[in-house]
Structure 1
Amino acid sequence: MNFVQQLSLYISITAFIFLILGLYRPWAMLWWEDVQNRRKVIRLYGSIASVAYLAHWIIVLLDA
C-alpha cells in the first residue's frame, strides 16, 4: 500500500509541475492537440493533480 501511496503523490507532483509549465507555454504540454490553450492545460493537468492528490490522502487515511 505504501508504493501506491507514494506513486499517487509523485503523479500529483508531476502533474502540478506540468500544469505550471503548461501555463507558461501550453504547446509544450499539449503538443498532440490541434488547439493548445491554457484552459485545456488547467483542465487536464489540474484534474490529474487533484485526483491523484485526493487518492493519496484517501490511502493515507485508510492506512492509519
Structure 2
Amino acid sequence: MFFIRQLLLYISITAGLFLLIGLYRPWVMLWWEDVQNRRKVIKLYGSVAVTAYLVYWFTIFFV
C-alpha cells in the first residue's frame, strides 16, 4: 500500500508541475489538441492533480 500512496503523491506533484508549465505555455502540454488554451490545461492537469491528491489522503486516513 505504501507504493500506491507514493505513486499517487508523485502523480499529483507531476500533474501540478505540468499545470504550471501549461499555464505559461499551453501548447507545450496540449500538443495533440487542435486548440490549446489555459482553460483546457486547468481542466486536464488540475483535475488529475486534485483527484490524485485526494485519493492519496483518502488512502492515508481510511486504509
TM-score by length of 1: 0.96
Rounded to whole Å, the distance in 1 between the matches of 2:35 and 2:4 is 34
**Paired position in structure 2 for 1:43:** 43
Q: CA RMSD in A?
A: 0.5
Distance 1:18 1:4 in 2: 21
The aligned amino acid for 2:24 is: Y
Give secondary structure in 2 for the equivalent of 1:9. Answer: helix
Paired residue secondary structure (1:10)? helix
Tell me how far apart the structure 1 counterparts of residues 46 and 31 of structure 2 sit (CA, whole Å).
17
Identity of aligned residues (%): 67
Superposed CA deviations along residues 12-51 of structure 1, whole A, max 9, x for unmatched, are: 0000000000000000000000000000000000000000
Is there any run of 5+ residues in structure 1 with no aligned partner, and where? none
Aligned residues: 63
Which consecutive residues of structure 2, in runs of 5 or more, have no partner in the other structure? none
**Structure 1 stretches of at least 4 aligned residues deviating more than 4 Å after TM superposition:** none
